[in-house]
Structure 1
Amino acid sequence: MELDAHRAELTAYCYRMTGSFHDAEDLVQETLLRAWNARARYDPARASVRTWLYRIATNACLTALEGRARRPLPAGLGAPGQDTGAPLVPAADVPWLEPFPDARLDPAARADLRLAWVAAVQLLPARQRAVLVLREVLAFSAAEVAEQLDTTVAAVNSALQRARAALGAADAERVREQDGPGRRAVVDRYLAAFEAADVPALVGLLARDAVLEMPPLPLWFRGPLHYGRFMDRVYGMRGPGWRTRAVGANGQAAFAAYAPDGAGHRLHSVQLLDVADASVTRTTVYTDPAVLGLFDLPERW
């Protein structure tokens, strides 16, 4: 019985459920171990190996999520900041939503992995979350999901309806997101302006309601005015002359930022960009060393 072939897609599933790449890897390892130990009881007449594995993974995720706080992004915790000179104090007690490195992603599992969408999914109760992902993303039938969750088809359909209603705004935003050459052109212009410390050029690429957030800092900003003022602060603190390196995360545009540091550059952050209607709508900046370590980046450049 070949189990490891399903590891990549199961990791993406457990990530959508938990919002943590680290937790997802642990849960997939637990899933495969449980499956191996129960292999003698597997009945191919009842379900495919894939469906069986998703049942085990779902149970593992639901157990892991019991009593846990959701994983948010800063914009999901309160009003945007107005003081771009406020102290930069990390909220170490918040279990922040983590990114998912594309290098560790099965290309077939890229759908519905965008960071903002995964953040919205975290607002759902765990079982609704499972129903939504299993039905809408992974295309299991209502009967299969009912079997996986030990419930009825009617209960699955009801949970899916409630989940869709709760995710209405996030799904609408997902439709606006831009792919292809147009997005690449916007990202290239953003990176050029970022490296040049050209704040007016950066601001010119922003949507009217663009968001800048920086977990583990709870502080976040909305709109080009505050976004630009905060970037002025960053360049004032760190200086000009930054360098960038393209990375992939959550199936969307992302880059590693290297800040000037003496004679060279030191890894500062991984930044994910949302692009829609030829504008940057959201920038999520990660500086946590545990998150940066997911991308296998050199510390210095």
Structure 2
Amino acid sequence: MDVEPYRGELVAYCYRMLGSFHEAEDLVQETMLRAWRSRDRYDAARASLRTWLYRIATNVCLTALEGRARRPLPSGLGAPSDDPAAPLTPAYDVPWLQPFPDARFDLAARTDLRLALVAAMQVLQPRQRAVLLLREVLQFSAAEVADQLATTVPAVNSALQRARTALARVDDPGALAEPDDPAVRAVLQRYLRAFEAADVPALVRLLTDDAVLEMPPVPLWYRGRDDYGRFMTRVFTMRGTGWRTRVVSANGQPAFAAYAPDPEGGHRLHTLQVVTVLGERVAHTVVFADPAVCAAFDLPERIPAN
């Protein structure tokens, strides 16, 4: 029984369920162990290996989610701030949503990994979340999902309808281009040039009118070009100019690692930033400052001086 080829898609599924890449990896390992221990009970005539593995993974995720709070982004917790000088106090008691490092797994599609969509899914009840993912993302039949969840087809259809209704109330930015789309790459490169130069006016010109900037684990977030720009002015005043960046991909979106000037020479890893590009503008930037998040992307801690 070779279950290893399914690891990547199972990690993506558990990530969508939990909102945590690190927990997703752990839960997939638990799924593989359970599959190995119960391999003698697997009935190929009843279900494919893939379907059977998703049944185990779903049960593992639902157990892990019992009594858990949802994983939000700051914009999901309250109104935006209009004070660019507000204290940058991390809220470590909040289980923040984490990004997904695309380079770690070879997945056929990543559209359903978008940060905004994963954040929206966190508002659903765990079983609704599972039904939505299994039916609409993974394309299992209602009968297969009913078997995976030990329930009935009508119950699956009802949960799917409730999940759709809940997600319909979430703001949808529309179709997003892939990070390797030439137009997206061009916008990102212009943004990075302005960022590295600490050129706030150039950054602001690249933003949509209602662009959002948020930075977990700090619960603050800002909406609008003016507040976005004022906060970036504060960042560059605090950390200096002459930044460096490295392009990566997260959640099927363009992203970059930001390296701040190090007083001892070179540059030190500061944050991982996931960008949403709409048209020729940046509409949303999520800045992750948690070192554990950056570690998942295998980023060097320092860039030496040239």
**TM-score of the superposition, structure 2-length normalised?**
0.96
* Residue in 1 that maps onto 2:241: 240
What is residue 115 of structure 2 aligned with on the other side? 115
Aligned AA (1:288): D
Counterpart amino acid of residue 102 in structure 2: D
Instruction: For 1:233, give the aligned amino acid.
Output: R
Report SS of the residue matched to 1:192.
Answer: helix
1-structure distance, mates of 2:139, 2:279: 29
> Is residue 41 from structure 1 mapped to residue 30 from structure 2 by the alignment?
no
> Contact conserved, 2:9 with 2:107, CA < 8 A, in 1?
no
* C-alpha distance in structure 2 between counterparts of 1:156 and 1:105, whole Å: 30
| SS of residue in 2 equivalent to 1:197 | coil
- The residue identity in structure 1 corresponding to 2:183 is G
Matches within 5 A, 1:73-222: 73-170=73-170, 172-173=172-173, 175-179=174-178, 180-222=181-223
C-alpha contact (below 8 Å) 2:8/2:107 kept by paired residues = no
CA-CA distance at 1:277 after TM superposition: 2.3
CA contact (8 A) 1:176 1:277 kept: no
Q: Is the 8 A contact 1:111 1:137 kept in 2?
A: no
Deviations 1:96-116 (A, max 9, x none): 001110111232142300111
Match of 2:290 among 281, 288, 291: 288
Q: Which protein has the bigger helix share?
A: 1
Q: Which runs of 5+ in 2 are unaligned?
A: none
| Large movers: runs of 4+ above 4 Å | none
C-alpha distance in structure 2 between counterparts of 1:267 and 1:234, whole Å: 15
State the distance in 1 between where 2:171 and 2:234 align.
34
Spell out, residue by residue over 1:142-169, the C-alpha distance to the aligned partner (whole angstroms, 9 max, x if none). 1111110111111111111111111125
Q: Deviations over 1:149-201 (max 9, x none)?
A: 1111111111111111111254732x332332221111111111111111111
Secondary structure of the 2:246 match is strand
**When the two structures are aligned, how many residues end up with a matched partner?**
300
**Stretch of structure 1 that moved more, 35-44 or 154-163:** 154-163
Cα contact 1:117–1:171 (8 A) shared by 2: no
Deviations 1:245-270 (A, max 9, x none): 01111111000000011221100010
Q: Which secondary structure does the structure 2 equivalent of 1:100 belong to? A: coil
Alpha-carbon distance in 2 for matches of 1:176, 1:297: 29
Residue 258 of structure 2: SS of its match in structure 1? strand
Q: CA RMSD in A?
A: 1.1
For 1:285, the aligned partner's letter is V
